Structure 1
Amino acid sequence: MGDQKSKENNPIENNNAASNTKASESAQTKKGGMDRRTFSKRAIQLGGLAAASSSVAASSFSTMQSNTFYDEYEYVIVGSGAGGGPLAANLAKAGYSVLVLEAGDNDPSDNTHDIPAWHPFASEDRKLSWDFFVNHYKDPQRQQQDSKYVPGKGILYPRSSTVGGCTTHHALITVYPHNNDFDKIAELTGDDSWDSANMRRYFERLERCEYVPRPLSANNNPSRHGFDGWLPTNKVDLGLLLEDPAILKIVLATLSRYGLDGALDRILSGNLALDINHWDVARGREGPFLVPMAANGRGRRESVREYLFDTQDKYPDRLHIRTNALATQVLFDGNRAIGVEFIEGQGLYRADPLHNNNANAGERKQVIARREVILAGGAFNSPQLLKLSGIGPADELRRHGITPRLNRPGVGENLQDRYEVGVVSELDDDLALLERCTWGEEGDPCLRRYRNRWWSRGPYATNGATLSVVKRSFEERLDPDLFIFGLPSEFRGYYPGYSESLKTVKNRFSWLVLKGHTNNSAGRVTLRSSDPQDTPEINFNYFDEGNDTNGDDLRSVVEGVKAARDIMDSSWTRDQITREVYPGDDKQSDQEIEEYVKNEAWGHHASCTNKMGSPEDPMAVVDSKFRVIGTENLRVVDASVFPYIPGFFIVVPIYMISEKASDEIIATAQGTTV
């Protein structure tokens, strides 16, 4: 499907011109659609809702051209990340007034999140972070076997709280899911719009591919890449391989192991693309691939935050972003969502490293949504907010003194994630690519190269992902379920201070084994209390505590560990390796590797806690159009809505459903269908 066809079918762009003549583009956008007297009357009519504060709130955005927040908007979106951010921008572009409530602050002015290689530091930046601590097991003895366990807390699960959400600190990896991920949703819901061929057009719409030549004809685009979207995608500068003999040997070993001996010249010249996001690969191809990243041609992170800012610059009266605004509940008239209650202040949520338990949370405020409320807080916070609003398992709500509005037992259930483990080798010598890098200290030569060159900007312009291998753990798997990729550092998961080790340890190389399409769906997100500033209880119920009763997930991860070891044991690499640090040379049998995996596995793609399904399914939370079942004017658009965890990396599927939800919501506003 060519670019021209995508544009012709894009309701966001097509709706914009017509929307400029709507009343909402005149008096409505000047005062949120009505004056204070009318707003107050309407608030009373909608069940006694108090009028929102009309005080002028100082914007934390240098780009924001208006610092006035209105009493009501057509759409109120909770969360500015991969689900909520593109949706907000798209609705504003289509001519609607939108308020985004973001619990975090604006992004900092330093380089932590802009420089691709610094993404580990961004994930521990106290100004950007929400630090959740989760349980992998109910059994405390089992849980404490993890070397990353923090006594009294659990396992660190980094999330982000700032404009752009987790897209400001993630590793920039941009990998398309498998076609079956969408075809299964189409089959489950009976909604053909989820068909994989149709869903690909959303990827084409959002992507701005900069590593594949633009096709000469819009009707001849076999790769089905997009070239005019808001998300730039690029590949790592492969010339850097020639600067580090040790990494080069590892890459050559990988190519040799998977039947690509002598292919390096073709890869460096661009004649062998190894393009994991090509349309053909989505059908289940295996082998070595390069790892695309969400960075622009200048080597800077660019995604949701920039899309929001750019849209806000163009439409300052339509798109407002209210930072330091923690949503406390959805407001209803009966079962119809009419607005959101929130509290304002910095560091209000207890996952925030800067949270002060003694700080005054300030007054509760309210904002009306004339059309819809959309939750986009992610797999932990969206189910929490639904429950705080009276939607969830009735017994759980009553235990916390919350009057059930709607008994939806699936809210917070079905929590899923990948399993990941690291295979870490210690090399005889420091990696040449990193030996001079001082990670931002004064006179850092790698930072100077990154800032001053317009070509070959060096290691800081990469996210570190050198090469990946996609394979099936066992032949009978429907799709490849292992994604194994190399990093020139030590990485074995998340724990407080993990990013600091990257600055000092320069003689280690890690293969990260990621198990996709996991079977376990037994995780849960439950309320800790009825306090909206509190974090929920999060338990993933790993492996033998979960519902993968056959142990397929565990065996698959073990196969991934053995595949990574196989590469490092090749004739290309074994003479430069001192020892295997993790799992360790003493763990050789399948049983020993299994125990290592059960102890040390982690994940960071939490999803599926408000699963999509048929309205007749008592465990479904949203329907195929993202609407919360049993309510009106309330949707969820984030990772929580997937019924099964998609692909290998979840951010691209979230971007795609954000684009799809944009079409669905605009169609509802126009009285049409998608």
Structure 2
Amino acid sequence: MEFDYIIVGAGSAGCVLANRLSADPDVRVCLLEAGPEDSSPLIHMPVGVAAIVPTRHVNWAFKTIAQPGLSDRIGYQPRGKVLGGSSSINGMIYIRGHQSDFDDWQALGNDGWSFADVLPYFRKSEMHHSGSTELHGGDGELYVGKAHRHAATEAFVQAALSAGHRFNPDFNGEQQEGVGYYDVTIRNGRRWSTATAFLKPIRERSNLTVMTGAHAERIVLRGKKAVGVQALIQGVQVQLKARKEVLLAAGAFGSPHLLMLSGIGPEAELKPQGITVQHELPGVGQNLQDHPDVVLCYKSQDTSLLGVSITGSPKMGKALLDYIRKQKGPMSSNCAEGGGFLKTDPNLARPDIQLHSVIGAVDDHNRKLHWGHGFSCHVCVLRPKSIGSVGLASANPHSAPRIDPNFLSHEDDVTTLLKGYRIAREIVDQPAMARFGLKDIYSKNLHSDEQLIELLRKRTDSIYHPVGTCKMGQDEMAVVDSQLRVRGIEGLRVIDASIMPTLVGGNTNAPTIMIAERGAEWVASS
């Protein structure tokens, strides 16, 4: 049970790390995943995301503490608990973020993280449907394809053009602003997770050990050096030794949680739980950033939209048969096929809101189901000023962390979301959407700022992009340096979305894969 590298978490970053590091036959790599194998058919059929997100099936299904900015509601944070991690349960949208986001990281003192620096690592992973270009890779493991296009998605894009927004053929191209269709990690009608792309092809390497049902409980330290991991594996507690490094890839909740359980973090967080401070690191668990998101939800009589009804069920049944036979049709859809990156003020340098149009009625993370069919439009604030934290609810490593996104605590976020809501409603009200007979479920007769802000506080929550809780930097709250090494601890790195110093303007799966590509090179060369 001795390895050169132990990777904790087989998600978007962990699968990439396992692939790249085990490419050297002279090193032994161990990949730990708390969840099971990715064998569930709901993972691989893209529309299955609608059934996974609201349940505990291959999903940590975390809850937040009560949020004052959200009318004291408890929020919901689904995270993948399976090989592939959240790339096995997400919306499969491939977005890098705005190019300036990475220049911002560099400006914060993180050398080697400008857009020019990271672009080669985005391209390295990518197998883009249009082939290799200056901005896209054509030979990588991660297939990036075109989304299925429902008539309602096409109508939404046309409606946005009618409302004065410009068409953007590639949100990962030269410009991000505009409306259009998302590229997705779907290949031949099946989800292309990091487990499928990076892990499955190399699973038989003799120097790679993959352990599922392996819940990491703490990092084993010898003084100020990480030398292994204690884990509960299939019900048996074991200690795994790391000759070179322990690599945390457990995500924005899991990585800071494991650091704190191991005595690495702020004393104020550890001491109340009776955990001895092994290394004071005040930034662990701080700087939680996530996109606050609200969903405009509509009912429709159009049975081509996803839903359940007496008249629509035969159509849904036929769609399922078509998928089983040909892996095509609505069941091959990620549901959020189109959207946009828009400015709530034309004087802004870059978009500050993102829209996702959805070919079904999504209410409360799909936990609240409506009879019939519908359509939705997500609106999120891309660079929120509300900052939260992750802490310890217990010293028990099998208890969930305390998650506080602190949503809508900053008035600027409320103002931006309100403007975004009005923009989205204006788009849906355009003639191009009329054929679907959409009926607003929640805001039909609400028009004043006060009415809509009250609605926002009642309906806003996460769109599943938590980052920043082990941030990269040089200030006293930084947890890792620019090569992702934990400050003050030898042989330990964090390589996942938690290292982002600021939230990118878009979905976070692609940037997390890039971070792993970047980190793998540093690990291999050290």
TM-score (norm: length of structure 2): 0.93
* Residue of structure 2 in register with 1:631 after alignment: 489
In structure 2, C-alpha distance between the alignment counterparts of 1:376 and 1:432, rounded to whole Å: 37
Q: How does 1:20-59 map to 2 (within 5 A)?
A: none
* Residue of structure 2 in register with 1:417 after alignment: 290
The 1:287/1:421 distance shift into structure 2, 3 A limit, reads same
TM superposition shift of 1:431: 3.3
Question: Does 1:505 pair with 2:372?
Answer: yes
In structure 2, C-alpha distance between the alignment counterparts of 1:438 and 1:453, rounded to whole Å: 24
In structure 1, C-alpha distance between the alignment counterparts of 2:90 and 2:196, rounded to whole Å: 15
* Residue of structure 1 in register with 2:72 after alignment: 143
In structure 1, C-alpha distance between the alignment counterparts of 2:394 and 2:203, rounded to whole Å: 40
- Provide, for residues 11-44 of structure 1, a one-character-per-residue CA deviation record: whole Å limited to 9, x for no partner: xxxxxxxxxxxxxxxxxxxxxxxxxxxxxxxxxx
The 1:399/1:318 distance shift into structure 2, 3 A limit, reads same
Q: 1:472–1:481: 8 Å Cα contact kept in structure 2?
A: yes
Instruction: Give 1:101's aligned amino acid.
Output: L
In structure 2, C-alpha distance between the alignment counterparts of 1:492 and 1:340, rounded to whole Å: 40
- For the residue of structure 1 that corresponds to 2:184, the secondary structure is coil
Instruction: Give 1:412's aligned amino acid.
Output: G
In structure 2, C-alpha distance between the alignment counterparts of 1:439 and 1:92, rounded to whole Å: 49
- For the residue of structure 1 that corresponds to 2:336, the secondary structure is coil
Question: Does 1:234 pair with 2:145?
Answer: yes
* Residue of structure 1 in register with 2:383 after alignment: 517
* Residue of structure 2 in register with 1:330 after alignment: 219
Q: 1:446–1:458: 8 Å Cα contact kept in structure 2?
A: yes
* Residue of structure 2 in register with 1:4 after alignment: none
* Residue of structure 2 in register with 1:291 after alignment: 182
- For the residue of structure 2 that corresponds to 1:541, the secondary structure is coil
* Residue of structure 1 in register with 2:200 after alignment: 310
1:107 to 32, 38, 42: 38
- For the residue of structure 2 that corresponds to 1:572, the secondary structure is helix
Q: 1:439–1:447: 8 Å Cα contact kept in structure 2?
A: no
The 1:101/1:428 distance shift into structure 2, 3 A limit, reads closer
Q: 1:622–1:635: 8 Å Cα contact kept in structure 2?
A: yes
Q: How does 1:149-548 map to 2 (within 5 A)?
A: 154-191=74-111, 193-210=112-129, 212=130, 214=131, 221-222=133-134, 224-238=135-149, 240-241=150-151, 248-258=154-164, 274-278=169-173, 280-281=174-175, 285-296=176-187, 298-315=188-205, 317-345=206-234, 362-431=235-304, 444-453=317-326, 457-494=328-365, 497-498=367-368, 501=369, 504-506=371-373, 508-521=374-387, 523-544=388-409, 548=410
In structure 2, C-alpha distance between the alignment counterparts of 1:433 and 1:407, rounded to whole Å: 51
**Which is higher, the Rg of structure 1 or of structure 2?**
1
- Provide, for residues 275-305 of structure 1, a one-character-per-residue CA deviation record: whole Å limited to 9, x for no partner: 1122x02xxx421121111011x11011211
- Provide, for residues 310-359 of structure 1, a one-character-per-residue CA deviation record: whole Å limited to 9, x for no partner: 343452x11111111111111111101100011123xxxxxxxxxxxxxx
TM superposition shift of 1:250: 3.5
TM superposition shift of 1:273: 7.1
Q: 1:189–1:623: 8 Å Cα contact kept in structure 2?
A: no
Q: Gaps (5+ residues) in structure 2?
A: none
In structure 1, C-alpha distance between the alignment counterparts of 2:295 and 2:154, rounded to whole Å: 20
TM superposition shift of 1:135: 2.5
Instruction: Give 1:276's aligned amino acid.
Output: F
2:501 to 601, 621, 643: 643
Instruction: Give 1:207's aligned amino acid.
Output: E
* Residue of structure 2 in register with 1:75 after alignment: 5
The 1:655/1:439 distance shift into structure 2, 3 A limit, reads farther
TM superposition shift of 1:237: 3.5
Instruction: Give 1:465's aligned amino acid.
Output: A
- Provide, for residues 605-624 of structure 1, a one-character-per-residue CA deviation record: whole Å limited to 9, x for no partner: 1111111111xx22111111
TM superposition shift of 1:564: 1.1
Q: Gaps (5+ residues) in structure 1?
A: 1-70, 145-153, 216-220, 261-271, 346-361, 669-674
In structure 1, C-alpha distance between the alignment counterparts of 2:120 and 2:88, rounded to whole Å: 25
* Residue of structure 2 in register with 1:352 after alignment: none
In structure 2, C-alpha distance between the alignment counterparts of 1:607 and 1:174, rounded to whole Å: 17
Q: Decide which moves more: 157-166 or 115-124.
A: 115-124
TM superposition shift of 1:426: 2.3
Structure with the bigger RCO (C-alpha within 8 Å, sep 6+) is: 2
TM superposition shift of 1:127: 4.0
- For the residue of structure 1 that corresponds to 2:41, the secondary structure is coil
In structure 2, C-alpha distance between the alignment counterparts of 1:321 and 1:374, rounded to whole Å: 14
Instruction: Give 2:170's aligned amino acid.
Output: D
Instruction: Give 1:290's aligned amino acid.
Output: Y
Q: 2:214–2:233: 8 Å Cα contact kept in structure 1?
A: yes
In structure 1, C-alpha distance between the alignment counterparts of 2:424 and 2:101, rounded to whole Å: 26
TM superposition shift of 1:308: 4.3
Q: 2:122–2:137: 8 Å Cα contact kept in structure 1?
A: yes
TM-score (norm: length of structure 1): 0.74
Q: How many residues align?
A: 524
TM superposition shift of 1:123: 2.5
In structure 1, C-alpha distance between the alignment counterparts of 2:3 and 2:169, rounded to whole Å: 46
* Residue of structure 2 in register with 1:90 after alignment: 20
- Provide, for residues 392-448 of structure 1, a one-character-per-residue CA deviation record: whole Å limited to 9, x for no partner: 111321211111011111111111100110112223443367789999999921122
Structure having the higher strand fraction is 2
Instruction: Give 1:536's aligned amino acid.
Output: P
Q: 1:440–1:447: 8 Å Cα contact kept in structure 2?
A: no
In structure 2, C-alpha distance between the alignment counterparts of 1:398 and 1:488, rounded to whole Å: 48
In structure 1, C-alpha distance between the alignment counterparts of 2:306 and 2:253, rounded to whole Å: 38
- Provide, for residues 551-573 of structure 1, a one-character-per-residue CA deviation record: whole Å limited to 9, x for no partner: 22111111111111111222333
Q: 1:379–1:606: 8 Å Cα contact kept in structure 2?
A: yes
Q: 1:105–1:127: 8 Å Cα contact kept in structure 2?
A: no
TM superposition shift of 1:656: 0.5
- For the residue of structure 2 that corresponds to 1:444, the secondary structure is helix
TM superposition shift of 1:138: 5.1
Q: 1:489–1:505: 8 Å Cα contact kept in structure 2?
A: no
In structure 2, C-alpha distance between the alignment counterparts of 1:439 and 1:308, rounded to whole Å: 38
In structure 1, C-alpha distance between the alignment counterparts of 2:83 and 2:305, rounded to whole Å: 36
- For the residue of structure 1 that corresponds to 2:124, the secondary structure is helix
In structure 2, C-alpha distance between the alignment counterparts of 1:619 and 1:363, rounded to whole Å: 36
1:610 to 470, 476, 492: 470
- Percent of aligned pairs with the same amino acid: 30
TM superposition shift of 1:576: 4.7
In structure 2, C-alpha distance between the alignment counterparts of 1:598 and 1:259, rounded to whole Å: 27
In structure 2, C-alpha distance between the alignment counterparts of 1:331 and 1:625, rounded to whole Å: 22
In structure 1, C-alpha distance between the alignment counterparts of 2:144 and 2:257, rounded to whole Å: 33
- For the residue of structure 1 that corresponds to 2:440, the secondary structure is strand
The 1:104/1:412 distance shift into structure 2, 3 A limit, reads same
Q: Decide which moves more: 225-234 or 484-493.
A: 484-493
Instruction: Give 2:171's aligned amino acid.
Output: I
TM superposition shift of 1:538: 1.2
- For the residue of structure 1 that corresponds to 2:334, the secondary structure is coil
The 1:196/1:248 distance shift into structure 2, 3 A limit, reads closer
